[in-house]
Amino acid sequence: SVEAVDIRDYTTDKHRHVDDAPYGGGAGMVIQPAPVCDAYEALCKKLGKRPRVIYMTPQGRVFNQSIAQDLAKEEDLVFLCGHYEGIDERALELIHAEYLSAGDFVLTGGELPSMVMIDCISRLVPGVLGNGDSAEVESFYDNLLEYPQYTRPEVYEGKAVPGVLLSGHHKNIESWRREQSIRRTLERRPDLLEDAALTLKEQKFLDCLLKEQGESRLKELEQLVKEAVKNEETPGGIFDAYKKDITVWGRNDLKDVLDSNLGLKGSPTQIAKASDKVRKGAGEKVVLDPTASVNYIVDKLTEKHVL
Ligand code: 4G3
């Protein structure tokens, strides 16, 4: 169950003040340590133990399913919510507050983040809200996103339900769903794949997807580099080669990028020549045309930054 504690009940003055101006000056008010600590101590006395205290703050570790699983093991938890102002640092130290954030955004108070966490944690407690200890609880199962779901009708607005789901072939359905989960995770949350639990076969499948993606990126990148080299005079020939990895402004900056990242020194022409020399050194036939140089540069950029 959830119980709200009002720290104003732990004040002694007649206006029940809980905040005061910050030492050192500055805007806003700061919650004083006594009401927070006294409220916590009263709670500890009542419970006969000292429950973990979670302080809701944008400066905390970002809450996730695995933190929820850890917190779900606790018999009792205290969620401490600041409102506008901060809380005196000494109170946070004395009650051993753990800092958690609901995400990278700022609200007027910690109440909504605490409710998000309470909802998330409580559905992991067996017997709470009708949920059991089923595998369904692990929604971030294997660190993959969920596969798409379909229900009746079989065709809606001309869009049919994927045939495999109607086949009754459970093994195929299961592997189709896994494949969808992997595709979707790569598409929407590639960061999750780092820790995804994949079978060897699934890893191979992912490698194929990545290779396809890499090849199409390469084509685009090649086009971008060609443009940049061609538009020697246009400083506005800006391109952002794969989001954040390489940003090149016209040809002179291309030179800088090649210089600092690849150790290729000199003017673009010299670089082109140097790259051909390297190609020659590597036993390739020398092609002194710009396209070949562009290809070489693309290779280098790809090797270092994109794939
Ligand atoms: C402490 C938590 C509390 C410092 C609290 C703001 C967002 C979150 C507050 C502070 C909050 C969150 C109150 N806003 N992302 N506001 O979990 O700067």
210-219 residue pLDDT tens: 888 877 766 7
To the nearest whole percent, how much of the chain has pLDDT over 70?
67
Task: Find all residues with CB under 8 Å of 193, minimum gap 6, and list them.
Answer: 143, 185, 186, 206
Q: Say if residue 134's pLDDT is above 80.
A: no
> What share of the chain has pLDDT > 90, as a percent?
59
Q: What is the pLDDT of residue 249?
A: 37
Whether the per-residue pLDDT at 42 is higher than 80: the answer is: yes
pLDDT-based confidence at 237, cuts 50/70/90? very low
Distance 100 CA to ligand 1 centre (A): 9
CA separation for the pair 78, 51 (Å, rounded): 7
Q: Which of 57, 108, 116 to mutate to test the pocket of ligand 1 (most atoms within 8 A of CB)?
A: 57
Cα distances from 262 to residues 28, 103, 247, 291, 303, in angstroms, run 51, 37, 14, 19, 10
Closest CA to 209 of 233, 235, 181: 181
Give the dihedral of Cα atoms 105, 109, 115, 121; nearest 10 deg.
60
Q: What angle do CA 61, 67, 71 make, to 5 degrees?
A: 120
The residues near 249 (Cβ < 8 Å, ≥ 6 apart) are 235, 237, 238
Residue 227, burial from CB neighbour count under 10 angstroms (0-12, 13-18, 19+)? middle
CA of 22 to the centre of ligand 1 (A): 18
Confidence of residue 306 (pLDDT cuts 50, 70, 90): very low
Please give the mean pLDDT across all residues of the chain.
80
Instruction: Tell me which DSSP letter residue 143 carries.
Output: G
Give the atom of ligand 1 at the shortest distance from the alpha carbon of 56: 2
Per the model's pLDDT, the better-predicted residue between 191 and 162 turns out to be 162
Bridge-based pairing state of the strands 159-160 and 155-156: antiparallel
Q: Where are the alpha helices (DSSP H) in 149-284?
A: 170-188, 200-230, 250-262, 268-281
Q: 191, 189, 177, 188: which is closest to 147 by C-alpha? A: 177
Say yes or no: CB of residue 287 within 6 Å of ligand 1.
no
99: CA distance to ligand 1 center in Å?
10
Cross-strand bridge partners of residue 238:
249
Model confidence at 263, pLDDT cuts 50, 70, 90, reads low
Contact in structure between 87 and 44 (CB atoms under 8 Å): no
Among 62-66, 91-95, 132-136, 204-208, name the one with the lowest average pLDDT. 132-136
At 242, the pLDDT band (50, 70, 90 cuts) reads very low
- In one letter, which amino acid is 287? V
Q: What is the mean pLDDT of residues 112-135?
A: 84
Torsion (CA) 184, 185, 187, 191 in degrees, nearest 10: 170
> Mind listing the pLDDT tens digit for each residue in 197-212?
999 999 999 999 988 8
Distance CA 42, CA 121 (A): 24
Distance CA 284, CA 91 (A): 70
Q: How far is the CA of 57 from the centre of ligand 1 (A)?
A: 4
User: Is pLDDT of 137 > 90?
Assistant: no
The reported pLDDT for the residue numbered 36 is 98
Q: What is the predicted pLDDT for the residue at 35?
A: 98
The pLDDT-based confidence of 243 (bands split at 50, 70, 90) is very low
Distance CA 119, CA 125 (A): 10
Highest mean pLDDT among 107-116, 236-245, 256-265: 107-116
* Tokens encoding 292: 């070949």
CA distance 302 to 241: 10
**Do 8 and 16 form a contact (C-beta atoms < 8 A)?**
yes
Burial label for 248, CB within 10 Å (0-12, 13-18, 19+), is buried
Predicted confidence at residue 130, as pLDDT, reads: 60
**Mutate which of 56, 99, 116 for ligand 1 pocket (most atoms within 8 A of beta carbon):** 56
Q: Tell me the pairing of strands 52-62 and 77-81.
A: parallel
